[in-house]
Amino acid sequence: MAVLVYIENTDNKLKKSALETVSYAKAVAEMLNTNLVALSIGNVASAELESLGKYGVSKVLNTNNEKLKSFINQAYASVIAQAAKQENADVVILSNSFAGKGLTPRIAIKLNAGIADGAVDLPDTTGGKFVVKKTAFSNKAYAYVELESSNKIISLTPNSYKIVEKPESVTVEDFSAAIKDSDLKTIIKEIVRATNKVSLPDAEIVVSAGRGLKGPENWGMVEELANLLGAATACSKPVSDAGWRPHSEHVGQTGLAISPNLYIAIGISGAIQHLAGVSSSKVIVVINKDPEAPFFKVADYGIVGDAFEIVPKIIEEVKSL
Ligand code: FAD
């Protein structure tokens, strides 16, 4: 018996959400009195993999295969399931990231496992049960899911668990999984951005704007603030529908769901469909000229006023720091 954690990387560097997932998985492994094994797919430097020992991993399986250079759901799910079988892992934990959302059900089918996706807390094992608190209804509610199957998959909501150091001696082993041609059927077209912009799904800070900005010509101040804060830019649906911003920036129920540490919403009303994608952000700052805007109900900090006056002032303030 073991707990297997799948750790994601971007450009062969471990993501912050990977360390959160490792810390969560270590706590689960301790609850179950078992070892934590991590699986990495990609070309992550061995020193970085060894550093996982700091967070309680005792073994890292490393799959570095040309065929898996691009992310392919079916193939990655197959490798993770094979690693779980090899390690006798009855609990598999991964991030409920963009990739994780596609992987979780596929791994579950391969392992005949129950799923708790979008977990926000450690499982409650009182009375021999295994109950996981998870988000439900687009983050508007919590559900408590009891996993009765012997194999279990948990995907952890990013930003819901702190990174904790628990030093452990660690070994890194190559793991060569069998990859079927049928798992490589999806052709991935990778679009490499020429800009140095922060990637939206992974961003710690997001500066987002809506129809209140009146037109695409006014996004200069949004980009300037984002650059100063090392943030990604995002937008509401009507903004991307109107072609003011690319669809890749659209957040919400029908767009990306994100959970940054800081979400700054400028001229966005806070419709329920928008909140569905951003309400699990740690701190929400809302700038809106309408004091009745629904976004203020979920804001940690609200500024009532004209974005065209307030945002330049914030930019000046940040520059002076
Ligand atoms: P508006 O509702 O027009 O709000 C603009 C806001 O800007 C207002 O609150 C106004 O007070 C403020 N404002 C105006 N001028 C200024 C100024 N100078 N300074 C400061 N504030 C100002 N929306 C999403 O965003 N994401 C989704 O995924 C999504 N999915 C949807 C799915 C469905 C099935 C449906 C029906 C709708 C969906 N929507 C989604 C649309 C959603 O319902 C709202 O219409 C949309 O979020 C509104 O966008 P907005 O806040 O930018 O614009």
Flag whether pLDDT at 11 surpasses 90: no
Q: Where are the beta strands (DSSP E) in the chain?
A: 2-7, 9-10, 13-14, 35-41, 59-63, 89-95, 114-119, 131-136, 141-146, 152-156, 171-174, 205-209, 232-235, 262-266, 283-288, 301-304
Alpha carbon of 236 to ligand 1 centroid (Å): 6
* Mean pLDDT for the chain overall: 94
Residue recorded with tokens 């029908």: 254
| Whole-prediction pTM | 0.82
Residue 278 has a pLDDT of 93
- Cα within 13 Å of Cα(188), Cβ side: 15
pLDDT digits (tens, 9 = 90+) for 204-263: 899 999 999 999 999 999 999 999 999 999 999 999 999 999 999 999 999 988 888 999
Q: Provide the edge-to-edge strand list for the sheet that holds 89-95.
A: 141-146, 131-136, 114-119, 152-156, 89-95, 2-7, 35-41, 59-63, 171-174
Question: For residue 197, which of 244, 234, 241, 237 has the smallest C-alpha distance?
Answer: 234
To the nearest whole percent, how much of the chain has pLDDT over 70?
97
Pocket probe mutation, ligand 1, options 240, 269, 303, max atoms within 8 Å of Cβ = 269
Model confidence band, residue 1 (pLDDT cutoffs 50, 70, 90): confident
Residue 301 has a pLDDT of 98
**Best-predicted range by mean pLDDT among 130-139, 177-186, 217-226?**
217-226
Alpha carbon of 181 to ligand 1 centroid (Å): 44
- Determine which of 193-202, 240-249, 279-288 has the lowest per-residue pLDDT on average: 193-202
Can you list the pairs that 48-53 forms with residues at least 24 positions away whose Cβ atoms lie under 8 Å? 48/13, 48/14, 49/172, 50/170, 50/172, 52/7, 52/14, 52/22, 52/170, 53/167, 53/168, 53/169, 53/170
Ligand 1 pocket check for 238: Cβ under 6 Å: yes
Ligand 1 pocket check for 102: Cβ under 6 Å: no
| Dist. CA 114–CA 112, nearest whole Å | 7
Mean pLDDT of 305-309: 98
Residue 265 has a pLDDT of 98
Residue 191 has a pLDDT of 64
Residue 192 has a pLDDT of 62
| Dist. CA 239–CA 219, nearest whole Å | 11
Whether the Cβ atoms of residue 231 and residue 248 lie closer than 8 Å to each other: no
Nearest ligand 1 atom to alpha carbon 252: 28
- Determine which of 72-81, 188-197, 209-218 has the lowest per-residue pLDDT on average: 188-197
| Dist. CA 251–CA 260, nearest whole Å | 12
Flag whether pLDDT at 68 surpasses 60: yes
pLDDT digits (tens, 9 = 90+) for 100-132: 999 999 999 999 999 999 999 999 999 999 999
Residue 86 has a pLDDT of 97
167 — alpha (psi -120 to 50), left (phi > 0) or beta? beta
- Strand pairing class (9-10; 13-14): antiparallel
Mean pLDDT of 171-186: 92
Alpha carbon of 63 to ligand 1 centroid (Å): 43
Alpha carbon of 78 to ligand 1 centroid (Å): 40
Alpha carbon of 204 to ligand 1 centroid (Å): 23
Mean pLDDT of 180-198: 74
Residue 160 has a pLDDT of 86
Measured by CA distance, the residue closest to atom 29 of ligand 1 is 273
Flag whether pLDDT at 7 surpasses 80: yes
Model confidence band, residue 15 (pLDDT cutoffs 50, 70, 90): confident
Flag whether pLDDT at 39 surpasses 70: yes
Whether the Cβ atoms of residue 263 and residue 278 lie closer than 8 Å to each other: yes
